[in-house]
Amino acid sequence: MSRNLANISVGSMLENPAVSASAAVEFLSSRASETSTVYIYDLAEQAGFGTLTKSWANSDKGTASVIDLQTRAGAGLSLVGRLSEGSSSHTANGATLTAFVSPHGLALMSPALSYLPPAGTNGRLIIQVPSITPVGETMVLSPSTASLSTTLPILPEDITVLISATPQEAVHFTQISYGLTDSHVIHLFDHFSTSREIGHKVLPVPEKVFSAGSLHEMLKQAGYSFFDYVGDIQASTVLVLLNGPLGLLAKAIARQTTGFGVVTVNVLRPWDEAALRSILPSGVRNIHVLDDVPNAAVQGPLYLDVLGALFNDKNVVYPHRLTPGQTHAYLSTKNLFLRFLSSITPNLTIAIPKLPSSSKKLMFFNAPNAVLSSLPSLVENSFLSSKALSARLLVDHDVFSKKGGITASRLLLSPKDSAEDLLPVPVVLPFDSNSVGEVDFLGVLDTNLLKSHSILTYAKPRSPVLLTTSWTAEEVSSNLPSDVLSLTSERELRLFIIDTKSVASQVGASDSVQDSVNNAIAYLAFMRLYLGSSANVDGVLALALATFGDSVEGVATSKINSVTWEALEEVDLPSSSPVESQTTLKAFESNAIAVETDEGDTVVNGARLGSWHDAAKHLMFPSVFTPEQPVSEEQYPPNPALRPEISDRTFLVTCTVNRRLTPREYDRNVFHLEFDTSGTGLKYAIGEALGVHGWNDEQEVLDFCEQYGVDSSRLITIPVVSGEDKMHTRTVFQAFQQQIDIFGRPPKSFYTDLAAYATNTVDKHALLFIGSAEGSSTFKKLSEKDTVTFADVLRMYPSARPGIETLCGLIGDIKPRHYSIASAQSVVGDRVDLLVVTVDWVTPSGSPRYGQCTKYLAGLRVGQQVTVSIKPSVMKLPPDDKQPLIMAGLGTGAAPFRAFLQHKAWLAEQGKEIGPVYYYFGSRHQSQEYLYGEEVEAFILDGVITRAGLAFSRDGPKKVYIQHKMLEDSETLARMLHEQNGVFYLCGPTWPVPDVFEALVNALSRYKGLNVAAAGDYLESLKEEERYVLEVY
């Protein structure tokens, strides 16, 4: 929502439905053309207001200067001092100061405001107040303006107090507040619901408004008045309350209730008694005033204002004190406010406001920052262009009921020309724990939430529920609590499951585009369920093409659609009665507001992920920020602190041997490593691979930090990839040495992403060109010939300097490198061996390059610990020990065959019969690169190796390769493969594959009577039987 917002025009921003009114208020209030300085109080930023302004101030010249202030008693004195100075640069020439404060902050500031100098030549003060207040132990958010009860009595007379409820009002009252020239202004706007909603188009105030002069005239020209009246013109009972979400609900009720009317207050100061009397129906007899108060013992100012205005009239004014908790309850509990109105107006029949029957209510629940966290916005955006539908999205967060938090997105779809009243989304879709089901579609994007929270309670009977999960249909019924299963059965809910990650893999999405493709898959599943019985493959595809185009990150949209259609599965739950649940499911409470800045940071309740104070909280209170780990019954349970960004099970092993196998003067460094695994629980099968989670070079990281201008010891908080709702804190040095792939090769998208942060025009255009289709040849040269790294690109374009936390997100993590294990655990026990060759090369410019992980491994010292994981491999021994083996390895491709031979030798020692083993090995020189030569000779002498075909290509006058040695044994090899159920393995580089294949085809053709085509087909068929196995790289 905030992306590049500071760089667009006011008109474009206001008419963009993807921009919330709250963001628009912040934008208008921070323009240097309107205000000289913006003072942002910490409590305002904790309410999600002010963060964008601070972001814009770093990159946009049109933003006023920003000053941070702490909220405390006397907090407004610094503003009074600035305005009183007169000659200050902040107030010269009648400058306007702006302050962002919370309702509570306004109450603390109000004593100082009584000392404000008159508005005029010395400047004016505009205070923007997002009306939202935390309530109770769970800090649930309420739109209460209770702080005004202590603020209003001590305000000076020349302060105007405006109160807005709708997005249009919020923007217009903001513009009017800066158009007034003779008054300080306090503007309280809804930050609880409508102004935070996405999906509203707002027209700016007409220019004629600003020449109107007085507040009355400006409001009149803009189409407003001090008070709004809605309801029966002959009403005998009228409700008076401040403008806000509850006022919108009250007006919707009044439009449908005979004998009842509602007055909402738009301008609280100056108080206009005559305007109030003129707007009331002539026959009114009972006036009920709802007053926001901090507690029931305090009398609110609105009642006194109304009573004073109507004291001599023939009516009765009743006070009703509304605490912040009650305000929240009236908006979040279905029909509770109607019951309250019925209790104070027993002679009236209060009508329930209803949405058009064609309206649809949608809810999505997810973990924050998870892969599918973009899905609700994706769905919203697809409806924004609709000419027939209005789409309103409101996103809330609960950061207390579950570690890592929960995100709830509510989306309301309704006909554009039918909605007379703007009912706040929380009223239409309340988080009511006693709900009987309001939602037409429910998306649960993290199925673990069903185990902890009462989410299905919002689903309407017989409505579809989409679960994105890796659970199978059978696992759904076994994993869900019995209460959830009972509710599903009672309401006849239709549960659908889809594994978006599995589908993404099926359609061939690479790791770098998995997030985008996953969201597209979830979107297609949603659309199919949303369309219901009218959905078909072609119809959903048409919608997808309109949303994504022909492809999603290079993957054909039609392919994604067809695979998604087949993968979406309805769950048929068992009809048997479940046992009584032992789990108490929690309710969702909205207690946090998240803001995404232009730099890509996410700020929750004022805590910037990656800032020092957020990092300090993670360090000081790790139990709060560390996700709960399941209790493990393993002898050696996993350590969650060990490389937490890795989804694989990891182990910490110790290097005991690092021995070079080739001579020092030889141009290839091939070395042997041994790691002690005792006490780790690491187990591996013969032929599996060891994933090494290597680190970047220490000095290179320090050099990069110096070049980038970042303190390597600074603390940052960055996401933990494997669990999207997790964060962890590290120094910049630790992040770039151990996690972030700063010396990896950037994909094409990195250039485009980086361009957004370039301040130099030449840099920006160069980056955009490389990332474009036209720049493909340049990108190919940089990537394949020059082999540039992320760090190189940042050096090449020095004006592109995203924040360090943002940069980490742009680059991504170091991927583990996998090496075939060169040992058999049956022989070596608590040990794992590797055979590695250092990868190095020289760029066309003469710069040396090294493979990140092989450089790390080559530098390991004895005693140094390394994080590793295990990866299955195709290199498996056959089930029958007597099956013949044909093993062909080039260079370090000998690694898995060493494990094979060790195990075969161990079997022979046990007196077990083993089949024939033919071992072919190739390298350049026997004297320098006969890897494990002594062991191979010993295996030959012991009869473990039946025949060895050793090819050292540079030792004779004619180059000899392994395929030549295989040709010498053609008859035997043909017999082994064709008649004796033998298995052939090739491990090493890809280049000999065609020659080896041809050698075996010739053997089968010559000795088994197959023509060339049949022999090739026969070898291909062996792949299916795992008897023709290739592991090449």
- Average predicted confidence (pLDDT) for the chain: 87
Is the pLDDT reported for residue 727 higher than 80? no
Q: Which helix H or strand E contains 251, and what residues bound it?
A: helix 245-254
Does residue 663 share a domain with residue 737? no
Q: What is the pLDDT of residue 137?
A: 77
pLDDT in tens, 243-285: 999 999 999 999 999 999 999 999 999 999 999 999 999 999 9
Which band of pLDDT confidence, cut at 50, 70 and 90, is reported for residue 610? very low
Does residue 480 share a domain with residue 396? yes
Q: What is the pLDDT of residue 366?
A: 93
Is residue 353 a part of any domain in this protein?
no
Does residue 555 share a domain with residue 493? yes
The single-letter code of the amino acid at 687 is: G
Q: Whole-angstrom Cα distance, residue 501 to residue 519?
A: 10
Does residue 962 share a domain with residue 889? yes
Is residue 1005 a part of any domain in this protein?
yes
Is the pLDDT reported for residue 629 higher than 50? no
- Mean pLDDT for 46-70 is 86
Does residue 859 share a domain with residue 897? no
Q: Whole-angstrom Cα distance, residue 944 to residue 881?
A: 12
Does residue 320 share a domain with residue 237? yes
Is residue 591 a part of any domain in this protein?
no
Give the three-class secondary structure for 320: strand
Using alpha carbons, list the distances in angstroms from residue 179 to 212, 224, 647.
9, 15, 56
Which band of pLDDT confidence, cut at 50, 70 and 90, is reported for residue 615? very low
Which CATH number characterizes residue 737's domain? 1.20.990.10
- Mean pLDDT for 28-52 is 90
- Mean pLDDT for 702-715 is 87
Is residue 432 a part of any domain in this protein?
no
Q: What is the pLDDT of residue 89?
A: 45
Is the pLDDT reported for residue 192 higher than 70? yes
How much is the pTM? 0.62
Question: 477: which 2 tokens?
Answer: 């019924």
- Mean pLDDT for 414-438 is 83
Give the three-class secondary structure for 456: helix
Choose one of 222, 253, 283: the last residue of a domain.
Answer: 222
Residue written as token pair 């027209």: 203
Q: Whole-angstrom Cα distance, residue 48 to residue 399?
A: 14
Q: What is the pLDDT of residue 611?
A: 38
Enter the DSSP assignment of 969.
T
Long-range contacts of 426-430 (CB under 8 A, 24+ apart): 426/192, 426/193, 426/245, 426/331, 426/332, 426/394, 427/193, 427/245, 427/248, 427/249, 427/331, 428/355, 428/361, 429/361, 429/363, 429/458, 430/331, 430/332, 430/333, 430/334
Which CATH number characterizes residue 481's domain? 3.40.920.10
Question: 804: which 2 tokens?
Answer: 């360090």
pLDDT in tens, 544-559: 998 899 999 899 999 9
Q: Which of 481-490, 639-648, 686-695, 879-888 has the lowest mean pLDDT?
A: 639-648
Give the CA dihedral 526, 529, 534, 535, nearest 10 degrees. 50
Q: What is the pLDDT of residue 90?
A: 47
Q: Whole-angstrom Cα distance, residue 830 to residue 675?
A: 8
- Specify burial of residue 769 (Cβ count, 10 A radius: 0-12, 13-18, 19+): middle
Does residue 195 share a domain with residue 54? yes
The single-letter code of the amino acid at 184 is: H
Which CATH number characterizes residue 122's domain? 3.40.50.970
Give the three-class secondary structure for 249: helix
Query: With helix as H, strand as E and coil as C, how does 210-234 read?
Result: HHCCCHHHHHHHHCCCCEEEEECCC
Separate counts of helices (H) and strands (E) for the chain: 41, 41
Using alpha carbons, list the distances in angstroms from residue 992 to 669, 741, 987, 998.
22, 32, 10, 10
The single-letter code of the amino acid at 117 is: P
pLDDT in tens, 330-358: 999 988 999 999 999 988 888 888 888 88
Q: What is the pLDDT of residue 109?
A: 87
Crossing angle (nearest 10°) for helices 514-531 and 537-548: 130
Is the pLDDT reported for residue 87 higher than 60? no
Q: What is the pLDDT of residue 605?
A: 56
Structural contact between residues 251 and 169, judged by C-beta atoms closer than 8 angstroms:
no
Does residue 944 share a domain with residue 897? yes
Does residue 725 share a domain with residue 667? no
Using alpha carbons, list the distances in angstroms from residue 666 to 275, 662, 931.
96, 6, 14
- Mean pLDDT for 710-733 is 71
What's the domain range around 254?
A: 229-344
Choose one of 873, 896, 921: the last residue of a domain.
Answer: 873
Give the CA dihedral 152, 154, 156, 157, nearest 10 degrees. 50
Is residue 951 a part of any domain in this protein?
yes
Q: How many angstroms from the chain centroid is the CA of residue 15?
A: 27
- Specify burial of residue 584 (Cβ count, 10 A radius: 0-12, 13-18, 19+): exposed
Query: How many structural domains does the chain have?
Result: 6
Choose one of 524, 554, 570: the last residue of a domain.
Answer: 570
Is the pLDDT reported for residue 580 higher than 90? no
Using alpha carbons, list the distances in angstroms from residue 604 to 130, 451, 696.
16, 25, 32
Which band of pLDDT confidence, cut at 50, 70 and 90, is reported for residue 582? low
Q: Which of 91-105, 161-175, 675-689 has the lowest mean pLDDT?
A: 91-105
Q: Whole-angstrom Cα distance, residue 897 to residue 111?
A: 82
Q: Which of 376-380, 507-511, 516-520, 775-779 has the lowest mean pLDDT?
A: 507-511
Backbone angles phi, psi at 241, to 5 degrees: -155, 165
Q: Whole-angstrom Cα distance, residue 441 to residue 975?
A: 63
Which band of pLDDT confidence, cut at 50, 70 and 90, is reported for residue 639? low
Does residue 54 share a domain with residue 89? yes
What residues contact 840, with CB distance under 8 A and at least 6 apart?
A: 848, 849, 850, 851
Nearest-CA neighbor of 1023 among 985, 991, 990? Answer: 985
Nearest-CA neighbor of 737 among 688, 696, 797? Answer: 696
Structural contact between residues 179 and 209, judged by C-beta atoms closer than 8 angstroms:
yes
Nearest-CA neighbor of 589 among 329, 249, 324? Answer: 329
Structural contact between residues 834 and 819, judged by C-beta atoms closer than 8 angstroms:
yes
Is residue 589 a part of any domain in this protein?
no
Which CATH number characterizes residue 337's domain? 3.40.50.920
pLDDT in tens, 942-1001: 999 999 999 998 888 889 899 999 999 999 999 999 999 999 999 988 888 999 999 999
Query: With helix as H, strand as E and coil as C, how does 129-198 read?
Result: EEECEEECCCCEEECCCCCHHHHHHHCCCCEEEEEECCHHHHHHHHHHHHHCCCCEEEEEEECCCHHHCE
- Mean pLDDT for 862-871 is 90
Residue written as token pair 């024939």: 916
pLDDT in tens, 493-507: 999 999 999 999 999
Q: What is the pLDDT of residue 730?
A: 76
Is residue 853 a part of any domain in this protein?
yes
Q: How many angstroms from the chain centroid is the CA of residue 717?
A: 15
Is residue 422 a part of any domain in this protein?
no
Nearest-CA neighbor of 728 among 649, 801, 805, 802? Answer: 805
Does residue 508 share a domain with residue 390? yes
Q: What is the pLDDT of residue 649?
A: 82
The radius of gyration computed from the CA coordinates of the chain, to the nearest angstrom, equals 35
Which CATH number characterizes residue 645's domain? 2.40.30.10
Which CATH number characterizes residue 895's domain? 3.40.50.80
Give the CA dihedral 707, 713, 719, 720, nearest 10 degrees. 110
Nearest-CA neighbor of 219 among 149, 269, 267? Answer: 267
Residue written as token pair 């703007």: 422
What residues contact 842, with CB distance under 8 A and at least 6 apart?
A: 848, 849
Does residue 820 share a domain with residue 804? no
